[in-house]
Amino acid sequence: MNILKSCLLIRLLQVVSAQSVTCNLKPGYAAPVMADGWESRLIVNGLRQPRSILFDTEGALLVVEQQTGIRHLRLADGNGTCLSVQDETTLVQDSALNHGLALSNDGRTLYASTADVVYAWDYDPAGPSLGSERRTVVNGMDSGGHTSRTLLMSQMQPGILVVSRGSDGNVDIETADVNSGRSQIKAFDLNNLTAGSNPYDYASQGRLLGWGLRNSVGVVEEPIEGGIYSVENSVDQIERDGVDIHQDNPGEEMNYHGFLNASTEDQGGNYGYPYCFALWDTDVPNNDGLIVGNQFSADQTTTSNDTFCREDRVAPRLTFQAHMAPLDIIFLPNGTEAFISFHGSWDRSAPVGYKVSYVDFASGSPVAAADSRTATTDIMSNPDLSACPRGCFRPVSLAMDTQGRMFMSSDATGEIWVLAKGSSSTSTSGGGSSTGTGTGTGTSASPTESGNAAARWGYQSCPLPALFWVLWTLF
């Protein structure tokens, strides 16, 4: 009975809170198209290029604003997708911060990255406030080109920080040397750092999870088995044997990097870049049996050719339409679905991407075969891609709260959206109502599940009796 009474109290507080929440923001572009059973709402605007987002242990949303700093948003919750900003605090003002964000396993240390370093601060989420000392834990990453340094704190191996570093330009030949420290994903054991320790040097230290990864902005730890996955942005303007094939090649990639425990299986290999790439469209010159996902070479030489790429380089677990630009990947807590934000193309005559999709997982691996062209299911997309990039949202980072709601930052529009999956077959958005599915390479979402979304996704919900006040007085 105490449990039921607690649930009733929680529900009462939610009802009271809902009465004070304003959830009436509208986007300045066409309302997103939501897959059946999904709804979304615009809840924050006016941000400056929001990139990584993350919930702290008090339920507040932390946001990296590129070339600005880190903002703390406390949200008023009106239930479902009805949320609004209750109050906001600037935690850090630093124009060098550009993307990465992570919290220690106890939530008391905040990490953020510039193009060159990873910083750490003591963090009090109840304040909120940061300690006066800013510590450097990783450095030596300064370079041009791709400057996002994605951060991931392992939940399976506490204290292990994963850092991704991209290439210096479109085709960075120097990354063929592992000692360059570029186009790599590494893990650093912060448990070994003391007050007097020097920072880790990215190029020469850390545990190498993979190299030959052009720009793997999205990195995630699968929550059940613990495997590390990344999503990679591949090259632009590619030719094969002198023929322009860049409209649909090479494909973007989902790659696997093993575990962060003592095992080194499936770890530390070369994933192809800058000489080998994943095939998406098989209609290419001199295709001698290549299928979707095969590693191929732009030219056939004695040192780099299709045979070398297939036999000596690690192929992706999944391949996606070229130029969709995946920037983040997160899992449901039960590991059955991985959500991916596709920022959208610039290097293609017909735009692609500009959406959020998911991939089915089972037993720690994608369900779809490695050569699948239909591995993704779209859940949120722009209705008219010809208006992109200026007239649409551009997904960057994804975060999930304890109720199973997913939050998405859009840097181009300075916004944050919330997405939720319900039992209804009608999908709504903050900019209007829509039903059906979005466009793109993903398949349409199917409302095959029923019942409470939080329960389906592994969250607990309280029973709500109809005679609320009667039961309250009885207990």
Name the pLDDT band for 471 (thresholds 50, 70, 90). Answer: very low
pLDDT range class, residue 17, cuts 50, 70, 90:
very low
**If you compute the radius of gyration of the chain from its CA atoms, what whole number of angstroms results?**
22
What is the model's pLDDT at position 422? 79
What order do you get walking across the sheet with 415-421 strand by strand?
Answer: 38-44, 415-421, 406-410, 395-400
pLDDT digits (tens, 9 = 90+) for 156-186: 999 999 999 999 999 999 999 999 999 999 9
Instruction: Provide mean pLDDT across the span 258-268.
Output: 95
Residue 363 class from Cβ within 10 Å (0-12 exposed, 13-18 middle, 19+ buried)?
exposed
Q: What pLDDT is attached to residue 325?
A: 97
- Alpha-carbon distance of 462 to 183, in angstroms, equals 46
Residue 9 has pLDDT above 90, yes or no: no
CA distances from 393 to 44, 264, 355 (A): 13, 39, 8
Statement: residue 14 has pLDDT above 80: no
| Count of residues making up the chain | 475
**pLDDT at residue 5, as a whole number:** 56
| Predicted pLDDT of residue 280 | 98
Is the pLDDT score of 453 beyond 50?
A: no
Q: Which two tokens stand for residue 248?
A: 């649909």
Residue 462, pLDDT score: 43
| 300 contacts: CB under 8 Å, gap ≥ 6 | 241, 286, 306
Q: What is the pLDDT of residue 22?
A: 87
Is residue 331 helix, strand or coil?
Answer: strand
More confident residue, 391 or 3: 391
Q: Tens of pLDDT along 281-324?
A: 999 999 999 999 999 999 999 989 999 999 999 999 999 999 99
- Residue 413 burial class via C-beta count within 10 angstroms: exposed 0-12, middle 13-18, buried 19 and up: buried
pLDDT band at 20 (very low <50, low <70, confident <90, very high): confident
* Centroid of chain to Cα 415: 16
381, 328, 406, 382: which is closest to 81 by C-alpha? 406
Q: Which has more confidence, 467 or 315? A: 315
Instruction: Identify which has the larger pLDDT, 23 or 16.
Output: 23
388-432 per-position pLDDT tens digit: 999 999 999 999 999 999 999 999 999 999 999 974 433 455 543
Which tens digit of pLDDT belongs to each residue from 49-78? 999 999 999 999 999 999 999 999 999 999
Contact call for residues 228 and 322 (beta carbons, < 8 A): no
Average pLDDT rounded to a whole number, residues 318-343: 98
Q: What proportion of the chain, given as a percentage, has pLDDT over 90?
A: 82
Residue 12 has pLDDT above 90, yes or no: no
**Residue in 187, 142, 153, 193 with CA at minimum distance from that of residue 52:** 153
pLDDT at position 445, please? 30
Run of H or E residues at 120: strand 118-124
Predicted local confidence at residue 461, as pLDDT? 41
**Average pLDDT for 431-458:** 36
d(CA 282, CA 20) in angstroms, rounded, equals 55
pLDDT in tens, 105-157: 999 999 999 999 999 999 999 999 999 999 999 999 998 899 999 999 999 99
DSSP at 72: E
| Residue 57, C-beta contacts closer than 8 angstroms, at least 6 positions apart | 103, 106, 107, 125
Mean pLDDT of the chain: 88
> What is the structure's pLDDT at 347?
87
Strands 207-211 and 118-124: unpaired
| Whether 59 contacts 17, CB under 8 Å | no
Q: Token pair 């998911």 is at which residue?
A: 358
State the pLDDT confidence band at 452, using cuts at 50, 70 and 90.
very low
